[in-house]
Amino acid sequence: MLSKDDLKEIGNLLKPIKKTLDSHTKVLDSHTKTLGSHSKTLESQMKKLEEIEHKLATNTASTMGIEKKIGSALELRKDVYDLRQQVKDHEERINNLGRI
């Protein structure tokens, strides 16, 4: 069996270990709070990123609609050019018939 002096010496040896454990516990608590804060920040940033992705998708769809309209306008422009060319060709034929 251990004597009172032995128990006292063991208690004295355990005191620095307890202080170290308490210190590490405080550090871990601090890191846990920091991680919680970072987690909230990441959640907020993910939400913002999702909003940006949605806006980008909307803008992309809008851009595609504009591109289609531009394509249609270019086709109409070509059709107008072709019709003008046909009118010139007909005018030239009429002028040639008038000379005959």
* H and E: helices and strands count for the chain: 1, 0
Q: What is the mean predicted confidence (pLDDT) over 72-80?
A: 97
Kindly tell me the sign of the dihedral angle through the C-alpha atoms of 78, 80, 86, 89.
Answer: negative
Residue 1 pLDDT grade (very low, low, confident, very high; cuts 50, 70, 90)? confident
For residue 51, is pLDDT > 70? Answer: yes
What pLDDT score was predicted for residue 100? 66
Q: What is the mean pLDDT of residues 77-91?
A: 96
Give every CB contact of residue 2 below 8 A, 6+ residues apart in sequence.
Answer: 10
Task: Tell which residue, 40, 33, 14, has the closest CA to residue 25.
Answer: 33
The residue whose two tokens read 């270990």 is 17
Whether the per-residue pLDDT at 22 is higher than 90: the answer is yes
